[in-house]
Amino acid sequence: MSEERGVQGTQVGGGKPLRWLVTGSGGMLGSDLVAALAGCGEDVTGLSRKELDVTDEVAVAAAFADARPDVVVNCAAWTAVDDAESHEDRALAVNGTGAAHVAAAIAAGCAAPGCRLVHLSTDYVFAGDATVPYAEHDVPGPRTAYGRTKLAGEQAVRGLLPQAGYVVRTAWLYGAHGPNFVRTMIRLERERPGVDVVADQRGQPTWTADVARQVIALAGSGAPAGVYHATSSGVATWFDLAREVFLLLGADPDRVRATSTSAFPRPAPRPPYSVLGHDAWATVGLQPIGDWRLSLRSAFPALLQELR
C-alpha cells in the first residue's frame, strides 16, 4: 500500500480535514505514525508518555477536551513482555485501565463528535499454539501477563465504543525509532563472527511505517468498528529474519546459526506461532500489508541511517 493511498479519504463529511491525536507518540510505532501524518499535511497532535500518562483519567479527559480530535490512535502501552510477568498490576494499569480511560473520554464527549479510536494490540492475546493463521474473530486465550493486560484493553475499547472502537493487532515490529530485533541483528553482524537465533517461533516481521499507513487508511475508509490485523504477509522465523538482515548487509547468512526457544529461557513464554490472518481488510476494500521481505528491503536504508 502506498503512502498516497494510505491518506486518501482521511476526511469527514463536507471535506473537513481530520484532527488526529496519537498517544504514546514517543514510541517506535507512535513516532512513525506522527511522522506519516505530518508528512501528508494532516493536523496531528502527538503526546508522549511524559506528556500524557494514560493511567491518569483526569489528564486524559483534559487532553482530549483541549485537542478535540476526530481520531485518536492509542499507541500508549507497557511493552516489556517479561517484566509484565512480575509486574502485571503495573502493566494492566497502562494496557487495560489506560485504554479504558482513553475510550471513556471519547464516550463521554471529551473529543469531537463522532470521534473514532484506533487501539493498538498484539498477537499475544492468542495462545500461540495454532497451526493456521489466527483470524480476527478467533477467541483469544493469552498465556502471558502481557497478553492478558492487552486483552483487557481490547475489551475495554470494544465495550465502551462498540460503534467507534477499532482494535488493530500487530506483531514482530521493527522500525527506525526504537530497540528491536532487526536493529539488534545489524549491530551484532558488526560485532560478532556468528549469532545463534531461534528457529522454532513463527510470525510476521512487520515494519512500523507499514502499520502507520494501515492505521491511516483504516481511519479514513469509513470501515465499521471491529478487529483488524496489521502484520506483514508471509511467514518467517526469527532465524529467517536474521538471515535476511545479513543478506541485506552483504554478509554471509551462514553466520546465523539456528537454535531453539529452550536455549533462551525467558520469564514470559514466547508463542511458537504468531501468524495473524488478514481477512477483515478485504471486507472493507483495503489491501493488507505486503510481503515481509519487500518491506524489510524498503525499511533498510532508514534502519541503517539511525545506527550510524
Please identify every residue annotated as catalytic.
146
DSSP 254: G
Q: Which helix (H) or strand (E) holds 43?
A: strand 43-47
116-122 vs 165-170, strand pairing mode: parallel
Bridge partners (DSSP) listed for residue 202: 237, 273
202-203 vs 236-237, strand pairing mode: antiparallel
Residue 162 main-chain phi, psi, to 5 deg? -60, -25
Cell numbers representing residue 152 in the block: 483487557
Rounded Cα gap, residues 128 and 194, in angstroms: 29
User: How far, rounded to the nearest angstrom, does the alpha carbon of residue 207 sit from its chain's CA centroid?
Assistant: 9
> Do 160 and 102 contact (CB within 8 A), yes or no?
no
Rounded Cα gap, residues 4 and 1, in angstroms: 8
